[in-house]
Amino acid sequence: MAPPLIRLDDIHLTFGGTPLLAGASLMVGPGERIALVGRNGSGKSTLLKIAAGLAEAQSGAVFRQPTATMRYLPQAPDWQGFSTVRAYVEAGLGPADDVGRVALVLDSLGLTGEEDPAALSGGEARRAALARVLAPQPDLLLLDEPTNHLDLATIEWLEGELSRSSSALVVISHDRRFLERVSRATVWLDRGVTRRLDKGFAHFEDWRDRVLEEEEREQQKLGRQIAREEHWLRYGVTARRKRNVRRLAELEALRARRRTHRGPEGTALMAAAEATESGKLVIEARGVEKRFGETVVVRDFSIRIQRGERVGLVGPNGAGKTTLLKLLTGALAPDAGTLRLGTNLQIATLDQNRAALDPDETLAHFLTDGRGDSVVVNGQERHVVSYMQDFLFKPEQMRTPVRELSGGERARLVLARLLSRPANLLVLDEPTNDLDMETLDLLQELVEGFPGTVLLVSHDRDFLDRTVTSTLAPEGGGRWVDYAGGYSDMMAQRQGAALPGRRARAPERPARQQQEPREEKRPAARKLSYKQKFALETLPGRIEALGGEIAALEQKLADPTLYSRDAAAFARFTETLDAKRAERERLEEEWLELEMLREEIEGG
């Protein structure tokens, strides 16, 4: 077996209070591909810096293979002393590295090398930093959030580059799809310690849930054991004194285990403040155009967005996603065409640059707009500390300046303020940046269950697939096309449209009305059968009824005392809930197929 490139054993680090690292370990062998995962603030970046030699542990052993080459990608690169991107990238080469690879990698990433580092956009800066670590082809790559600010095309290029590379890899990322494609092992950093799964990230979440369930069972067993020992202490028949002293000592040890046990980290409680319902028509654009100088960003664009739709915008950096978003919400006037906004709109916007954050402002002042220590959510006044705790902030952070927050904490803070404002149209520009996966799951549920309308710009393919009902994508020359479904659906429709002999998409017909490739194999129907018509009329009612049953079951399972009171009932409700959700999903798919068939017949 080849010696490891790097090995960290029993790493401890504390910055006052709860230890950040409390016995963490990490071992990387040649060619290994490891996803390092964990909650925001769990110490992932710190552990990676210790591995790279940029931070020191208070205790523990660190071994680095002396002959191995290593490159580390930080979240915030240091550009000082470099006049061009090429100079910055070449500074990362070693004596034996091929300088010719610099131009090759820069070109693949869409950079010339002559750019001024001080004038780079977020995406350009990330690509330049990637070029610096990829050009040397080291034995080990340590990548901290490599996909942040990258567009989808660059993320997919990076996946291919890492797959072809012989370098070992440790990567931190919130992008599920990226981790699934590049990892072959997973290290979970949780409450200061690490656990390793010798499978890629695709298997991680099921494994993590099993580990946490087993831990919960162990804590319940410990509680029962303590209760038995305490009962003996109070009511048991006194035996020999030495035996009593031993049992007392064992009881104290059990109590100490329970006191020192750190349970799983809390979960943010995300819910959007309710607003009055908007009109059925939310946005209507007809022949909208926008140009900047000679560059046409949006050309002859038309769309109708109705209440309840969730529209995703994708495309390369610079394609005009944010411009189109501003046009659709009326924040930017079109050069041609007309835009009509629906009635009774209340818009809440999350800006990708977190422009609303003042680094010197405190958390409490930001959330309350400086109006005391209370925040009003859904018409109810809450103390700002209570509301902060919903988003995993500690009470002592109330007076903390924004500049001291991590990237993930800043993202949660902006979401906390956004969701406290009543809105029926959510405009989210790159909302997933810097969020950990647990918070991403909650944001996904919030977007899916939002009763109003959502406009969403994102490069996170998994998030788009899970949330949006249609996807807007640029097709060149300022032309934008509306596709039914999420990112994967859009890609399937694009590939299907390119097949030889396939009829070209009519320009005037929105893509969301196109049939997916699999539908073209179905024989054309002249009319719906009686059974199909009956199903089309009755399915919505059945789906709605299932929704009520699911909500009732979810309310029962939300009782924090249910499991301890009646574990059998908890298991029964959970099993029923899974079955109801599966049935609702089946009925929704059946209704969608019938509705698409009806549209095809009426349109034909």
Residues 467-509: tens digit of each pLDDT = 999 999 999 889 999 999 999 999 988 876 543 333 333 333 3
> Packing angle between helix 407-420 and helix 437-449, nearest 10 degrees?
20
Please tell me which residue, 277 or 595, carries the higher pLDDT value. 277
Question: What was the pLDDT predicted at 46?
Answer: 93
Question: What was the pLDDT predicted at 224?
Answer: 75
Residue with tokens 């788009």: 464
Question: What was the pLDDT predicted at 498?
Answer: 46
Residue 392 · residue 416 · CB < 8 Å: no
Q: Is 477 annotated as a binding residue?
A: no
Q: Is 43 annotated as a binding residue?
A: yes
Q: Is 92 annotated as a binding residue?
A: no
Residue with tokens 């954050």: 357
- Torsion, Cα of 455, 457, 463, 468 (10° steps): 30
Q: Is 321 annotated as a binding residue?
A: yes
Q: Is 45 annotated as a binding residue?
A: yes
Q: Is 504 annotated as a binding residue?
A: no
Alpha-carbon distance of 593 to 392, in angstroms, equals: 41
Q: Is 318 annotated as a binding residue?
A: yes
Q: Is 521 annotated as a binding residue?
A: no
Residue with tokens 């004194």: 241
Mean pLDDT within 235-257? 59
pLDDT band at 241 (very low <50, low <70, confident <90, very high): very low
Q: Is 102 helix (H, G, I), strand (E, B) or coil?
A: helix
Q: Is 81 annotated as a binding residue?
A: no
- CATH of segment(s) 530-603: 1.10.287
Class of domain 281-515: alpha beta
Question: What was the pLDDT predicted at 522?
Answer: 39
pLDDT in tens, 79-118: 989 999 999 999 999 998 999 999 999 999 999 999 999 8
Question: What was the pLDDT predicted at 9?
Answer: 96
Q: Is 165 annotated as a binding residue?
A: no
Alpha-carbon distance of 411 to 429, in angstroms, equals: 12
The amino acid present at 161, given as its one-letter code, is E
pLDDT band at 593 (very low <50, low <70, confident <90, very high): confident
- CATH of segment(s) 6-206: 3.40.50.300
Q: Is 315 annotated as a binding residue?
A: yes
The CA angle 8-264-269, to the nearest 5 degrees, is 125
pLDDT above 80: residue 463: yes
Question: What was the pLDDT predicted at 577?
Answer: 86
pLDDT in tens, 16-65: 667 889 999 999 999 999 999 998 778 899 999 999 999 999 999 999 99
Please tell me which residue, 489 or 379, carries the higher pLDDT value. 489
Mean pLDDT within 366-373? 84
Question: What was the pLDDT predicted at 515?
Answer: 38
> Which run of H or E residues covers position 483?
strand 480-484
Q: What is the mean pLDDT of the chain?
A: 83
Q: Is 40 annotated as a binding residue?
A: yes
Question: What was the pLDDT predicted at 113?
Answer: 94
pLDDT in tens, 148-170: 888 888 999 999 999 999 999 99
pLDDT band at 597 (very low <50, low <70, confident <90, very high): confident
The amino acid present at 179, given as its one-letter code, is L
Question: What was the pLDDT predicted at 392?
Answer: 77
pLDDT in tens, 69-78: 999 999 888 8
pLDDT in tens, 271-329: 666 677 888 999 999 999 999 988 899 999 999 999 999 999 998 888 889 899 999 99
Please tell me which residue, 190 or 531, carries the higher pLDDT value. 190
Alpha-carbon distance of 303 to 490, in angstroms, equals: 17
Alpha-carbon distance of 124 to 317, in angstroms, equals: 9
Please tell me which residue, 190 or 230, carries the higher pLDDT value. 190
Of the ranges 162-171, 499-508, 518-527, 572-581, the best mean pLDDT one: 162-171
Mean pLDDT within 251-277? 64
Query: Lowest-pLDDT range, 414-418, 425-429, 548-552, 595-599?
Result: 595-599
pTM, whole model, 2 decimals? 0.67
Mean pLDDT within 539-566? 81
